[in-house]
């Protein structure tokens, strides 16, 4: 019975968000010569496709990834593919606040510019981070929150600049349980695949709320920010979801509905490069167009409370 419930929910979820329709392609012609970009999780999937798209436009691209071997290999592949030699790997583990702070310190010493910060990395794994925070909360929200705050002054110095955070249409299914966060440092309890999926949707709502609040704090600075849904993409996001029935669902989705990483990167490129969207800072996009989110995802009080809790969890309050 559990199998059929999960199967029906997941299939209805994906179908309801039209992941089988043709995705729009970003057609902007902006060039990025002299600009510097950070892409977290840039060694695979959407992140790698995004990094390649930015490198092709002339940007200096920093692949901020956990694995040195895979990150350096991806950087070499992108350099070869695009002819842009300014694609480099820098180690970043979003499950470690020590690593995040070390990355920011190293970057700020070595790089004079930061024009685009793309918070792309995410996962759906069980366990806890090095800092004792639930893995999904820590990597999908607290990590990008801390990284962004540590790099904000450089972004302001290089304005106009942008912060892009990859969320998901799954945020529609999410909610914020502050009692659970404060008590357990997790977004949801339980360790089944259904529990992990629930926590993942909560983390994606965190991304949207973070962007909403960040936009308010950045008014007048020349730094704008956007969150987005990239579409269901064949990637390694769900590599830690292992129950047999979930594997079947993943196989069905990947075979019939999921798009490729290049198609999945188009809305990220749109938010990073589209002209004349500065007045839409803080908003959410899907398929290269503005989408209205549910009331909870744009609630000023919830967004402010989440920001305050996040500051405490990463020690910058």
3-state secondary structure string across 220-276: CCCEEEEEEECCCECCCCCCCCCCHHHHHHHHHHHHHCCECHHHHCHHHHHHHHCCC
Token digits for 100?
A: 């995040």
> What φ, ψ does residue 187 adopt, rounded to 5°?
-90, -25
Catalytic residue among 13, 200, 226, 270: 200
> What φ, ψ does residue 3 adopt, rounded to 5°?
-60, -45
Beta pairing partners, 164: 118, 226
Euclidean distance between CA atoms 147 and 144, whole angstroms: 5
Euclidean distance between CA atoms 35 and 39, whole angstroms: 13
Token digits for 53?
A: 């798209």
3-state secondary structure string across 10-34: HHHHHHHCCCCCCCCCCCCCCCCCC
User: Has 200 been annotated as catalytic?
Assistant: yes
Tell which residue, 82, 74, 83, 200, has the closest CA to residue 137. Answer: 200
Euclidean distance between CA atoms 261 and 239, whole angstroms: 16
List Cβ neighbours of 9 (8 Å cut-off, separation of 6 or more): none
**What are the catalytic residues?**
200
């Amino acid at each position: 019975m559990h199998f059929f419930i999960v199967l029906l929910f997941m299939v209805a979820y994906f179908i309801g968000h039209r992941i089988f329709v043709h995705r729009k392609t970003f057609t902007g012609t902006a060039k990025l010569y002299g600009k510097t970009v950070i892409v977290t999780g840039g060694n695979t999937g959407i992140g790698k496709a995004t990094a390649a798209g930015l490198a092709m436009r002339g940007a200096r691209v920093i692949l901020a990834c956990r694995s040195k071997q895979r990150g350096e290999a991806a950087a070499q592949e992108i350099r070869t593919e695009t002819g842009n030699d300014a694609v480099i790997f820098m180690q970043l583990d979003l499950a470690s606040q020590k690593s995040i702070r070390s990355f920011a310190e190293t970057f700020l010493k070595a790089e004079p510019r930061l024009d685009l910060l793309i918070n792309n990395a995410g996962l759906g794994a069980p366990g806890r981070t090095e800092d004792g925070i639930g893995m999904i909360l820590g990597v999908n929200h607290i990590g990008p929150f801390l990284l962004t705050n540590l790099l904000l002054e450089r972004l302001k110095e290089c304005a106009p600049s942008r912060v892009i955070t990859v969320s998901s249409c799954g945020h529609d299914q999410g909610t914020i349980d502050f009692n659970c966060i404060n008590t357990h440092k997790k977004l949801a309890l339980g360790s089944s695949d259904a529990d992990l999926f629930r926590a993942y949707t909560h983390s994606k709502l965190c991304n949207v709320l973070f962007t909403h609040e960040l936009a308010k704090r950045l008014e007048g600075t020349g730094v704008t920010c956007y969150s987005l849904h990239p579409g269901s993409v064949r990637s390694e996001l769900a590599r830690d979801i292992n129950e047999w029935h979930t594997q079947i669902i993943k196989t069905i989705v990947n075979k019939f509905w999921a798009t490729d990483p290049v198609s999945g990167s188009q809305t990220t490129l749109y938010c990073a490069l589209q002209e004349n969207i500065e007045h839409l800072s803080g908003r959410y996009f899907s398929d290269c167009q503005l989408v209205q989110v549910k009331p909870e995802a744009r609630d000023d009080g919830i967004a402010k409370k989440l920001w305050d809790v996040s500051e405490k969890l990463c020690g910058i309050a």
